Amino acid sequence: IEELTNSILEKITKTDGEKYNIYTDGLKIYTTIDYQMQLYANAATEKHMKSLQETFNKYWSKSNPWGRNSSIIYKALKNSKRYKNLIAEGKNEKDIKKVFETPIEMEVFDWKGDKTVTMSPLDSIKYYMRFLHSGFLALEPNTGEIKTWVGGNKYNHFQYDHVTSTRQVGSTFKPIVYATALEQGISPCDYFKNEQHVYEQYENWSPRNSNNEEEYTGKYSLKGALANSVNVVSVEVLFKAGIDNIVRTAHSMGIKNDIPRVPAIALGVADISLLEMVQAYCVFANGGKKVKPVYITRIEDKTGKVIYQGDKPTYTRVISKQTAYYMTEMLKAVVNEGTASRLRGTYGVGGEVAGKTGTTQSQADGWFIGYTPKLVAGAWVGADNPNIHFNSTYYGQGAAMALPIWAYFMQGCRSDAACKTKVSGGFYWGNDI
């Protein structure tokens, strides 16, 4: 909120020409955050991350998740405030090494409660490198209002915002590929062979399906391929739709970050923020129209005078209403029968829901973005360093790492009569703005 407010205040001056100060001028800042929904988002994130971290610790109980790659620890050491302060003091590497290897008393974060321990600064870096982190965002598609924002696990220990930071998005990018294909005239009833290809023009690149199945047989419709996140079909769909067309679609849907013009974008190699991905999925919920996210509605000075009034929602059509309808039907299949089916079976989330899981290479990132007509929400989970992760898709896939946060959040909202009406609702074609 501080960064967003300051960016607004940069354009506003007092009557005497001076800039406003967010800390000393007694400003009242009104946000779109829904207090009750934010509580459920915080609770959902904490509940899942406590459990997942325990699983991760047990998984790596006999070895380090970074293996023999000590450069990961050394890089983290050099990026630490302690190291930078010592350099500023003129310390040499030998003295710095001694400081980092000398045990001292310190307080460290633990999901069961902060604890005071005696360990060296080097060991504390290794301790924190083992933590998985999270980001969660919920946005009202019809208005663009951001209802919840969870930037990380615990702000007093981890200030890095995982809502606005970028990571590889995995298969959550596939709906953009498929939407572009539909826009280019490909029918949702068209079938594609489940075949592995070698693309000689791209350095003999040969993508595989995530389950590494030995036999590549049969055919998939667009709906079936997306529901089961079939990689080899998604790449073929990409070539049919055109890489440049896909990049244009992604940017038109609200993704500002650069997207490499390579076929691997079909598998989600692009680095994109959670905020941008949630905004992009709003296009599907909005019948093909993009809406600009809104976080601050107005700012008043200490006398109550409104010095900033947020704009009304603005919409831009980026895909056809028919394409948005088809995409919602296909993404409902992901939840009902595909990679996100545990949302139904394991977590008992009923009602009309569409969404997509995402898992990046080596399970470095887990994603889930899901929506109803009233709310689009996304979750990301991963370690600070992508080289630290589960080595098993059973634990590391998006359906296991990120989807539970979404599920717990929806359970919480639907258990509250006042909150339930803000997230529930059925899909229907023609739901225009």
DSSP for 215-242, please give it.
Answer: ---SEEEHHHHHHTT-HHHHHHHHHHH-
Is the sign of the CA dihedral 112, 40, 277, 273 positive or negative? negative
Residues 83-92, mean pLDDT to the nearest whole number: 95
CA 286 – CA 254 distance, rounded (Å): 13
DSSP designation for 206: -
pLDDT confidence band for 154 (50 / 70 / 90): confident
Chain segment 267-319, per-residue pLDDT in tens: 999 999 999 999 999 999 999 999 999 999 999 999 999 999 988 888 999 99
DSSP designation for 263: G
Q: Contact 339/227 with Cβ under 8 angstroms? A: yes
* Tokens describing residue 248: 């244009």
SS3 content of the chain, % helix, strand, coil (to 5): 40, 20, 40
pLDDT confidence band for 212 (50 / 70 / 90): low
Residues 128-147, mean pLDDT to the nearest whole number: 96
Tell me what pLDDT residue 213 has: 55
Tell me what pLDDT residue 215 has: 72
* Tokens describing residue 303: 């006398």
Q: Contact 228/339 with Cβ under 8 angstroms? A: yes
At which residue do the structure tokens 């029918």 appear?
Answer: 187
Q: Contact 409/136 with Cβ under 8 angstroms? A: yes
Q: Where would I find the beta strands (DSSP E) of 199-353?
A: 219-221, 271-273, 289-291, 296-300, 306-309, 315-317
Q: How many CA atoms are closer than 13 Å to the CA of 69, on its beta-carbon side? A: 11
CA 41 – CA 410 distance, rounded (Å): 9
Q: Contact 266/173 with Cβ under 8 angstroms? A: yes
Helix (H), strand (E) at residue 247: helix 243-252
DSSP designation for 392: -
DSSP designation for 150: E
Higher pLDDT, 11 or 331: 331
- The dihedrals phi and psi of 193, each to the nearest 5 degrees, come to -75, 140
Tell me what pLDDT residue 159 has: 82
pLDDT confidence band for 430 (50 / 70 / 90): very low
Tell me what pLDDT residue 394 has: 94
Residue 403 has pLDDT above 90, yes or no: yes
Tell me what pLDDT residue 301 has: 93
pTM of the model as a whole: 0.94
Q: What's the Cα-to-Cα distance from 425 to each of 120, 289, 352, 375, 421, rounded to whole Å?
A: 53, 19, 7, 9, 8
CA 4 – CA 316 distance, rounded (Å): 23
Residues 45-60, mean pLDDT to the nearest whole number: 97
Helix (H), strand (E) at residue 44: helix 35-59
Query: Residue 407: is it exposed, middle or buried by C-beta count within 10 angstroms (0-12/13-18/19+)?
Result: buried
CA 335 – CA 357 distance, rounded (Å): 9
Give the torsion through C-alpha atoms of 246, 248, 250, 256, to 10 deg.
140
* Tokens describing residue 270: 């692009």
* Tokens describing residue 316: 């831009």
- Dump the DSSP string for 98-116: HHHHS-EEEEE--TT--EE
Q: How many CB atoms lie within 10 A of CB 167?
A: 21
327 contact partners, CB below 8 Å, separation of at least 6: 175, 178, 179, 182, 284, 319
Residues 191-212, mean pLDDT to the nearest whole number: 89
Residue 432 has pLDDT above 60, yes or no: no
